Structure 1
Amino acid sequence: MRIKNPGLTVILSAVILAAAGVFFRDFNYTIAGFFISGILLLNYHYILLNLKRAALAAEINRSLDKKFVRRGEVVEISASVTVPGDYPFDITAEDVIPAGTEMFTGSNTCEIKGSGSVRYNVTCLAHGSISPAGIRLNLGGFFFSAGILIPEGGRDDITVFPSLKFSDAKSRLFGGKEVDRILPIKGSGIRDFREYTYTDDMRSIDWKVSAKQGKLFIREYTGIEGEGDMFIVDLPDVEEYGRDIEPLKGVVGSVISSGDYRDKVLVRISGCNLVGIRRIRSGAVPVKNILNDIGPSVRDVHMYRYRTGNIRGDLTDRYSEVKSAFSGYERAYSFEEEIFAIFEKNNPGGIKIMTGGTGDLSHIGVIAKAASKRGIKTHCCIPKDVGFEENLRNLRQFKFDILEAL
């Protein structure tokens, strides 16, 4: 039950008028004070009586668009409240936001004129079972207002599983009691947890977390800070920039031969096109054999920009422009997903990006941003060729930890 200072209003009215009666030596003021206080007290109890009557007669229907989600996802909650009968006061309903969620969009309040409904979206902040707290009916009169909560425990629960997205502040495992404290459950050196796949090492399975969640989860360990666990080579276009392959090979050979490249991952891209992924299993593999994989490739569409002429066939310029822009955006998004999937699968402690530094470099920015979100150190190298100073200036916008020309 929630009241806006009813007792204080009644007491102040009685005290003020009683004091006036004593001051003016006229007990009519005192009698008037008690009379007004009695009216206010009756009004207060009349509001409570109507509020309890409305709460007993209220019918609540609730629906959720999803009952099984992952942490960080949005759930749409809708509820309708029907209060039969006539009431001399205004009634409003407030759907209490469930614990472990936060309001995303919409409104959780409505006026009740026989019936009313609310519809809003919440973001699930902690995994586990989240239950609606209930509907609060608020009744407001001229002097007082009061509210009463109609609980709904155990109805329409939302089951929230841990998020499997890339590591950030909203995608880690949380304890059942840690709804308000944003603290991940991790051991020393563990970056995050994710679901087990058939290609993972069973020795990385965390059996305690797996037993709690009912699924197999593996531990993802942090890499050595600053160590280049992954090499990403941006290959030139086979048609336009094939002549730039030799300077790029020089950079790749210099980077690989400068350290221990055993058990490293070599990712070859050409613009937005993911050409191939190779794990260097042994340090006995000659560098020249690795360089044989470095060659011009078909460069995919540019990201965040469009160019006319990408669509084959006799189409109007406007249609070609719109279609090209849409295709570029669609491909850019899928390329970003591919990068996150590579990072999640291999979990590098650091990456070394090698590119010619020419042409559209939006895809390099996407890689740098994805690495920054996972806390991965980035090291970018370009050939020390003609015009490399301008290329360095263009690449500085992506805020690499290390940017150099070799």
Structure 2
Amino acid sequence: MKPGPAAEGTGVLALAVTAYALLFDDPAGFVVAGALLVYLVYRAHLFLRNITRVVGSLAIFRKVERTIVRQGGGTGVETTVTYEPRPGLAVGVEDLVPPVAVQDGEQAYDTPESGKIVVRHRLKFMAAGVTAFGGIRLAARDPFFSGSLDLKHSALMTPSITVIPTGTSLTSAAAGSGFDEHHEEGQAVLLKGQETRSYREYVSGDPFELVDWKLSARHGKLYIREPEAMSGGSPCVIVDLPDPGHPLSDDEMTRYSMAVNGAVEGTYRRYGVCPLLLIAGGEVVASLPPEVPEEELFGALAMVRPTEQTVPVYRYLDAATVQTHLRGVRKAPGWEGTFRERLGTFISSFGSEDGLSYFWTQVTGTLRRSRSNGVYLCTPGRGDISHLVQVVLEARHLGFDVSGCTLSGPESAAARAELAACGMERMEEI
């Protein structure tokens, strides 16, 4: 609650009257100053009572042009807010956008009658998944005070919006829901040639010397010549789902979701396939082989959200690391007899295949079946990352190149250093 011009003027007047009463020892001045302060308290109480009644009577109806939107696409929103008007109280509202959306233009307001406000605006959705509105921001003012409240009750956050990743073909059910942004996705035109395996659309970062300018001019978009040497296996994308125990801000979750979507979409457009593995701690949430249909691949990205880690975190040493530790035990002076034997047995148990968890076998099987030549690991880099250490060690053991991305910031610096020590070659910051 903030004081308005009238409250500030009344407060200044009360101070002036008090100063007068002190200088001239006038009891009537103290009475007047006290009355002014009591009136200010009364106006503050009246403002709080009025805004409480407005909040209690608030009701909204939000209508969107479509509830299924392609990533990067937009939709129009009309939100009607009704409330019980209070004498002398001016009310305004702001529609709070979903965390994965940005405002496309300004919000327009209309007041067809007292106690009713209509807000119209457009949103552009930047990340895939299912999202909801952020609620309503209520602003109120009278001649003496003003204030605002963010109301985020579940009833004020409907309806939910499903954002389809770019490149995903809509199902017939989605098409029947009013979605009308059916863009034709550019498909690679396979042409036989002595040096060119196929053509595909240009992806940011591709060298311009591979652009086929004649084909690009004919179709009005950039196409890349893909030589035979570029037809190797695609990297296996591994996504570490955020841990609710280490919550991300709305901005961090948006950036992470967009990075994951970009990695999967870029891999799929470049190679035509994208082996995908979603993990939450020591648990595999989803494992998609290279031959999975496009719709299922991009549909799985809706699972990129905070996921409880139900499988306890554990530690595991690869065989090479176990042998290194064992050699150190054998060479350590003074560790003779039973102690050395028991310590060697204890260390060996960390690399024993008899004690491997189901998570290890799933990760290993996924990497072997992916027919990939590398791993791209996406992780927020928060909390314990022993499961990621195991993934990196196993990928390196199988001969995979490992790179990835993590959120920026000091919280993730330790994770980046630990993964680099395990053999991760490149780690981009989101």
TM-score past 0.5 threshold: no
Q: TM-score, normalised by structure 2?
A: 0.40
More helix by share: 2
